[in-house]
Amino acid sequence: MPNLFDRFTVKDVTLRNRIGVSPMCQYSSRDGFASDWHLVHLGSRAIGGAGLVIAEATAVEPRGRISPQDAGLWSDEHVEALVRIAKFITEHGAVPGIQLAHAGRKASCARPWEGDHSLTDEEDGWETVGPSPLAFGHKLWRVPREMTLDEIRDVQNAFEAATSRALEAGYQWLELHAAHGYLCHSFYSPLSNHRTDEYGGSFENRIRFTVETLDRMRRVWPERLPLAVRLSCSDWVDGGWTIEEAIELSKRLKKVGADLIDCSSGFGTPDYKNYPFGPGWQVPFSDAIRREVGIHTAAVGLITDPVQANEIIASGKADIVLLAREMLRDPYWPYRAALTLDRKSEATPPAPYAHWI
C-alpha cells in the first residue's frame, strides 16, 4: 500500500513524495515574464518539502492570457527567468513542473482582485478566440471570434514551441491545461462548441483539438519526461461534458503519450450547479480514470489534511495529490504532514532549517 511519503517514479523522473503544488496563477507578470515573486512563491514551496511544484497556467500566446498580468512562454526571451526558478526548485529536491495554457474565450479579463470581468478595449482588453462565437457569460461578456482552421494550427504550433522552451528552461514535468473552461475545455464541451466542421459536433470532433495539441507537445517533449493533462471531468450541468466522456478522452490522450491525468472539474460555464463541494470532492474522478483507463492520476480539490491525503494515496484513488490553497496557507504543509503521519525521517527541510527542527 503506497504512502504519501513514498517516492513516485514516472518515466525517468522520481518525486520524493506524492505531494504536489497545484498550478496557481499569480497574475503578477509583466509582458508574461517571471519575476522574483515567482522565484519566491515557487521556491519556498520546494523548500517546504513538496515533491512536485507546478508553475501556473503559462500562456502560449499573448491572446491566450486570462489577464494582462499572466505568465507567458510565447517567446525565447521568456526562457531565461524560468531557468533560474526551475534550477532553484531542483536544487531543493523538488521536481519543477509547468502548465501550458490558452484561455480562449475566458481571456482578456481583469485580475480576480480587480473584478474578474472582461476588459474593454479602453482598458487594454483584446479580441478573444474560441471554437464558437459564444460568450462565457456573466462578467465575461466578450464574444470570442470563431477560430479558423489556420488559427487552430497556429495555436497548436504555439503549444509546441512553448513546450520546447519549457524543456530549455529546465522543467521536468509538463502539464497541458485542458480544464476550467479555457481553450481545450471549450472545444471538448458541447456547451461552448457549436462548430459544424471536424472540430465540433460529435465527441470525436470535439476532443480533436485537445488530442492533437497533446500529440504535438509529445513530439517535442522527450519520452523520458512526464507529460500530464488537466481535465475538467464534468461540466456539472445537464447537457454538458460528463465523467464518461472524460474517461474516453483520457484513453485517447494515453494513446498519444499522456502519462498522467490531473482530475479537476467545472468552470466551463457560470451556470454549473449541484456539485458536491467538500473535502476531496473531485477524488472520485481520479479514482474512476485511474481504474478505467489504467493511467496515473492526480487528485485535487479541498485536500487539506495529511490523513485524508494519505488515505487517497493508500486506497489507490490517485498516484499523487495536488494542493493549491492549503499550500498558500502553509508552504511547509509537507513537513507538517510528515510529522502527523509519523514519517519525520522523510521530511526534508534544507540543512539551515533541518539542524534546528
Ligand X SMILES: Cc1cc2nc3c(=O)[nH]c(=O)nc-3n(C[C@H](O)[C@H](O)[C@H](O)COP(=O)(O)O)c2cc1C
Q: Kindly list the residues in this chain that would bind ligand X in the complex (CB under 6 A).
A: 22-25, 56-57, 99, 177, 179-180, 230, 264, 300-303, 323-326
Q: Which is nearer to ligand X, 24 or 81 (CB)?
A: 24
Name the residue nearer to ligand X (CB basis): 256 or 303. Answer: 303
Task: Indicate if the alpha-carbon torsion angle 316, 317, 318, 321 is positive or negative.
Answer: negative
State in angstroms the smallest separation of the CB of 355 from ligand X: 31
Indicate if 199 belongs to the active site: no
Contact 344, 5 (CB under 8 A): no
- Catalytic, out of 182, 199, 272, 335: 182
Place of cell 479555457: 182
Q: Are β-strands 13-15 and 296-300 bridged in parallel, bridged antiparallel, or unpaired?
A: unpaired
Phi, psi of 123 (to 5 degrees): -90, 15
Residue 139 CB coordination number (10 Å): 12
CA 278-311-291 angle, 5° bins = 90
User: Residue 12 class from Cβ within 10 Å (0-12 exposed, 13-18 middle, 19+ buried)?
Assistant: exposed
Min dist. Cβ of residue 196 to ligand X (A): 30
- Secondary structure class of 16 (helix, strand, coil): coil
Query: To the nearest whole angstrom, how small is the minimum distance from the Cβ of residue 162 to ligand X?
Result: 15
The x, y and z cell numbers of residue 136, run together, are 462565457
User: Which C-beta is closer to ligand X: that of 24 or that of 227?
Assistant: 24
Of 102 and 180, which has the nearer Cβ to ligand X?
Answer: 180
Closer to ligand X by CB, 22 or 108: give it. Answer: 22
Q: How many residues does the chain have?
A: 357
For ligand X, the nearest residue by Cβ is 324
Least separation in angstroms between CB 176 and ligand X: 10
- Least distance (Å) from ligand X to the CB of residue 286? 12
All three cell numbers of 217, joined, read 507537445
Q: Phi/psi at 240 (nearest 5 deg)?
A: -100, -170
What is the set of active-site residues? 182
